Every structure is written in structure tokens, then in C-alpha cells.
Amino acid sequence: MKKLFISAISILFISLNAFSQDSGSEAAFQPNGKPLVTIYSDFRETIQDGESKPAFELSRSYFGYVYNFSPVFSSKVVFDVSSKAGLSPSSYTAYVKNAFGEYKTKLVVVDFGMISTSTFKLQESTWGKRYLLKSFQDLNGFSSSADLGAAVKFQLLPQLSVDAQVLNGEGYQQLQSDSAMKVAVGLTFQPIKNLNVRVYGDYMKKDAAQKTFNAFLSYTGKSFTLGGEYNYQEGNKMVSDHNLSGVSFFGTYKTSKKVSVFARYDNLTSNTLSGASDPWNKSKDGQLYVAGLEYFPVKGVTLSPNIQYTDPKLASLKPTTTLLMNVYLYF
């Protein structure tokens, strides 16, 4: 399957010149580029078992550049500078998040290099609040948001697209060269305007196999967005019998041009291994509740006071309440 996919990528690149001949648009087009800067910061008050811990955080910054060589060929590079949780004083590490070339038309998109993975890309963009909380699969370690590899997406019909990726499988923060590669396939269907239905699966194997399945449904109206997903992963991190499953539901309602309110619910579970009394992922299993509002004072600035409540499945672990003021800056 991997050889077939790589062959298809090669054929597409060989054919690109023939598909992209448009003398009118090429003559009018001027190569151009723009910088990208994104900053996530917050103030939080974490309350657990009667103890309160306040903290200011600069959790993550992205610095990048996009350059358009032609109407169909472009390139993008993004550096991810993020803090390492739990270290004092704060320590920051820089990674190459994206570094890829792209060919894009109305019918096909081809990416090659350090690309964004398709595992939860639609969920993250629909949720739209990565600056305050990752989407479910990203938050719970189902997959990385970027990886080395190649991807192709075909728009088969106006309402139907299919995408496939072959990836290194380790994610952008720990690149390794080994025999394990991830093969991923997804299908997105829009039966009516603003309603998205997506199913996705991937497979990778070293000593044990990791298999992922996701189903996602969302509706984006003029003033509201609703989304829900089901996730199942067998052999998490390619460890035999380490299985994860969970659901996530979220909604956003825009009360005005400058204000919206939102809520989200997650529930993560893992299986209990033979001979054990508790699930193998017991320290992370449980429910998450999120609610808050977003304020958009000017373009490029978002402020979000919100509350996040975690309720662990394991009775010996205490629930945690976190009060936050998140700041999202982009330009």
C-alpha cells in the first residue's frame, strides 16, 4: 500500500506541469510571501484538593513564512517554540513544525515534507480554540499534529473528498528513521451546506500494531457551531493491548461580532490489562468539562476567560478546577 501511494505521488508530480499550464493566470501572477506569527499566553489559577496555584504562562509561539511561487505552487515553514511543562524556571524548546512544498488546484492538493497530519486537522479547525485547549486526539496522545511524509487530497465531487498520507509516524518533536511508517486514509462528505461528515483510519506497526479510527460530525451555521467525534485506538504508541477510546462534543454560539460563548465535554477511557485492577491509562482517564467566552476586540487579538474542570475516573485522584484568562495573538 505504501509503494502504491508513493508511486501515485510520483505520477502526480510528473504530471503537474501539464495540469498547471494557464498562461493568463501565470502572466498576471506575481510571486509573493508573508510572515506568520502566533502567540498563546494565559494566566491560570489551578485549584485541587483545596490548594490553589496561580501562574502566568507563555505556552507556545509559532514563527513562520509562506511563499507562493505560482498560483499552484507554494512553500511553508513554521517553527514551534513551546514551554516544557513542569520545569522551573520555564524552559523553551524550538522545533520545526512545518517545512513543506505544496501543489494545489481545485481538484488535487499534494504536500511533501514536514506536513500537517490529517488525523484531527478538521476537528481542530472546527473547534477553533487551539490556543486554550487542544482537540481531543491531540490532547490525549492519539497522534501528532505534524510529521515527515507525503500527502494527497482529491476533490472527487463538490461534496466529497478523499485524502491519504504516508508518514514517518513519530511526530515532529521526535524524528526517527526506522521501519515503522504510518499509512492514513480519510474521507470527508458534505451532504448539505455547512454539514461535514468525516471518517478516518490509520495503521502503523513495529513490534505491535497501532490502529486508529475516528468519526467526526459538525455543523457550522451563521452564528453557531456544533461538533462531535468518536475515537478508538488499538495499540497506543505501538504497545500491545494498550487501547484508548473516547468522545468529544463542543459548541460555540456567537452572540455578537465581538463575543461568542462556548462549551466542550470530553471523556477518555482505556482498557484494563489481564491481571490488573485498574485501566492501564488510569492517571489520564476521565472527563473534562470546559466553558467560557471569547472576546475579539480587534483583528488579531482574542481574549478568553474560561473554566476547565477535570474529573478523573480513578477515585484516588482528585478533581481539578482551572480558571483561565487565555490570550491569542496572530499576525
Residue 172: pLDDT band with limits 50, 70, 90: confident
In the chain, DSSP assigns E strands to 32-48, 51-68, 73-83, 92-104, 108-116, 146-157, 160-167, 182-189, 195-205, 209-220, 224-234, 244-254, 259-270, 286-295, 301-312, 320-330
Question: What is the per-residue pLDDT across 74-94, written as a single tens digit (0 to 9) for each?
Answer: 999 999 999 876 555 567 889
The whole-number pLDDT of residue 146 equals 96
Neighbouring residues of 123: CB distance < 8 A, sequence distance ≥ 6:
135, 136, 137, 216, 218, 227, 229, 248
Nearest to 92 by CA among 63, 121, 113: 63
Is pLDDT larger for residue 22 or for residue 314?
314
Find cell 491531540 and name the residue.
138
Return contacts of 294-301, CB within 8 angstroms, 24+ apart: 294/129, 294/259, 294/260, 294/261, 294/262, 295/258, 295/259, 296/257, 296/258, 296/259, 297/258, 300/329, 300/330, 300/331, 301/327, 301/328, 301/329
The whole-number pLDDT of residue 233 equals 98
Is pLDDT larger for residue 291 or for residue 93?
291
The whole-number pLDDT of residue 237 equals 93
The pLDDT mean for the chain works out to 91
How open is the CA angle 64-69-72, to the nearest 5 degrees? 105
Alpha carbon 38 to its chain centroid, in Å, reads 15
Nearest-10 Cα torsion for 35, 133, 129, 304: -100
- Residue 144 neighbours by CB distance under 10 Å: 21
- Residue 52 neighbours by CB distance under 10 Å: 10
Nearest-10 Cα torsion for 34, 120, 137, 46: 40
The whole-number pLDDT of residue 92 equals 87
DSSP label of 11: H
Question: What is the per-residue pLDDT across 174-231, written as a single tens digit (0 to 9) for each?
Answer: 776 666 899 999 999 999 999 999 999 999 998 899 999 999 999 999 999 999 999 9
DSSP label of 319: P
- What's the pTM value of the predicted model, to 2 decimals? 0.90
Share of the chain above pLDDT 70, in %: 88
Question: What is the per-residue pLDDT across 118-158, written as a single tens digit (0 to 9) for each?
Answer: 999 999 999 999 999 999 999 999 999 999 999 999 999 99
Is pLDDT larger for residue 292 or for residue 21?
292
The whole-number pLDDT of residue 14 equals 47
How open is the CA angle 327-305-129, to the nearest 5 degrees? 60
The whole-number pLDDT of residue 180 equals 82
| Residue 20 clears pLDDT 60, i.e. is over it | no
How open is the CA angle 2-100-199, to the nearest 5 degrees? 50
Question: What is the per-residue pLDDT across 217-245, written as a single tens digit (0 to 9) for each?
Answer: 999 999 999 999 999 999 999 999 999 99
List Cα–Cα distances, 33 to 30, 70, 76, 194, 209, in angstroms: 10, 11, 9, 30, 41
